Chain A
Amino acid sequence: MRKVAIIGAGLTKFGELWDVSFRQMIVESGAQAIEDAGIDGKQIDAMYVGNMSAGQFISQEHIASLIVDHAGLVPIPCTRVEGACASGGLALRQAAIAIASGIHDIVVVGGIEKMTDILTEQTTEALATAADQEWEAFVGATFPGLYALMARRHMYEYGTTEEQMAMVAVKNHHNACFNPCAQYQMEITVEDVLKSAPVDFPLKLLDCSPITDGAACLILAPAEKARQYTDTPILVAGTGQASDTLSLHDRPTLTGLRATVDAARIAYKMAGVGPRDIDLAEVHDCFTIAEIMAIEDLGFCNKGEGGKMTERGETALGSQIPVNTSGGLKGKGHPVGATGIAQAVEIMLQLRGEAGKRQVGGAEIGLCHNVGGSGGTAVVHVLKRGD
């Protein structure tokens, strides 16, 4: 099996992009990535695209065809991959597998979501379809509600506090201030979070990632050919994916995501590294509690210690394992299908030394972690600076 490398990336600004359509976002991020990789469109063999729900947001299915068409890349094969909020990460994995298998050489993998063309209530309903429609959504459980159920259990079992959860949001907003593409460029305080309107208590408005439009794109190539295109290839050293039950109530544990643990184990093994080798990580902080559980599940600290680790500043910029230097889903925004790709873009920039004011010094190995729904799907990638 061949090794795979990232040779270029592009992404749009993340935010409420009223003036930009779904089709325009494809072109913007794609063109950037191709430029960054220094390739010609004709060299691309295949496309993979991650998107959760164009059907509900813009009433458009069959977007693989739409995207490859508007990218001007017909007739290459294009495949849409869906795994709720993990769609981007899953698409990246599929693209890597396609190259590793030898079937394709240069592959474009994108992630895109246009969420603001419908009313907020409708967007919330669309996102809730990631949950179990018959046994969770039907009884009135909302998507933040499911994470709130996990948060309360985490607080009960490990003494995690609302303040510790708030610190995740504060950190990520702070980091986003150094990310020109991020949706938010404003600092917030713990008190701001605690005072924000309750959504699904114990989660409040500022514990929740926003509704965002955005697209991100990567160009992948076989590692052995990467140097033809770039001086700074980034290896996809490890990829791991795992599933878990759709409903939260069917899981044996409510304080962590088994799918994350399983996916990470596979990715670490493939990359030949462990949690201690990771220099920085982009984790799936759809809600503040999700980041706390993620850093535990990924092995950066023991189960139950995520709140304290955050409180001690051990995941902040400049610490031993900076988490979500991009601002995370909270500060950067969460255009659902694009997130998994955007996370890899951030790690790539960091490993190349191109992350500007949020640069992690000496970054060699990074990790991205992307989750679908309340944890029914998780995908982890370990990226290494190529030699």
Chain B
Amino acid sequence: MGVPRFWREIPNRYNIIGTKCGYCNKVFFPPRFICPSCRRKGKLEPHKLKGRGKIVTFAVTHVAPNGFEDQVPYAIAIIELEEGPRLTAQVTDCDPNQIKIGDEVEMVFRRIGQEGDDGPIYYGYKARLI
């Protein structure tokens, strides 16, 4: 991933900052730049989410993409945050086979990957069972 591309999303990835439509009050994470309901009427501002939610569904990855091989098997889940939006994240620090739909999680700051041995390190969010 190009460095500027990663850098741009740093506040969003580090601090779960999405956007909120000033017109209909819907919260979006990941951030959106146009409200699908309000379109031009909508006014989107940055909005920080609390980072707590529930697992809606999950899968256990055994064949990992580049950079994730050392973590196999790991759980990937769709999490519904308290404020409403859903996101996709790895569930860390757990036995992936012990996860259940409905489990409560908090988003934590972890190392997501890196661009080889001499490239930048990517940080972001993962979910941790509460």
Contact = CB atoms under 8 A, between A and B. Distances in A.
Given A135-B87, A248-B88, A149 B58 contact: yes
Contacts of A39: none
Interface core residue of B1, B73, B86 (most chain A CB under 10 Å): B86
Interface string A111-151: 00000000001001100100011111111111011001111
B61 interface: yes
A198 B112 contact: no
Interface residues of A, number: 36
A140 B9 contact: no
B112 A139 contact: yes
Interface core residue of A132, A156, A203, A250 (most chain B CB under 10 Å): A250
Given A136-B88, A140-B64, A142-B65, A148 B1 contact: no
- Per DSSP, chain A at the interface is helix
Given A250-B86, A254-B78, A139 B63 contact: no
A201 B65 contact: no
B50 interface: no
B65 A152 contact: no
Given A139-B124, A149-B78, A152-B101, A199 B62 contact: yes
A153 interface: yes
Contacts of A134: 5, 9, 30
B66 A142 contact: no
B69 to A, nearest CB: 10
A225 to B, nearest CB: 43
B88 to A, nearest CB: 5
B86 A142 contact: no
Contacts of A133: 1
A150 B112 CA distance: 23
Contact of B59 (A139, A156, A203, A250): A203
A141 B61 CA distance: 8
Given A135-B87, A139-B112, A140-B112, A202 B59 contact: yes
B33 interface: no
A125 B66 contact: yes
Nearest to B122: A138
B65 A249 contact: no
Interface in B61-93: 61-66, 68, 71, 73-74, 76-78, 86-90
Given A139-B88, A140-B90, A141-B88, A149 B30 contact: no
A128 B1 CA distance: 14
B28 to A, nearest CB: 9
A20 interface: no
16 contacts: A121-B66, A135-B87, A138-B122, A139-B89, A139-B90, A139-B125, A145-B59, A148-B60, A149-B58, A149-B76, A149-B78, A156-B57, A198-B60, A199-B63, A201-B59, A254-B78
Interface of A: 121, 124-125, 128, 132-142, 144-145, 148-153, 156, 197-203, 247-250, 254
Interface of B: 1, 5, 9, 30, 56-66, 68, 71, 73-74, 76-78, 86-90, 101, 112-113, 122, 124-126
Going nearest first, the 5 A-B pairs with the smallest beta carbon separation are A148-B59, A201-B60, A153-B57, A249-B86, A198-B62
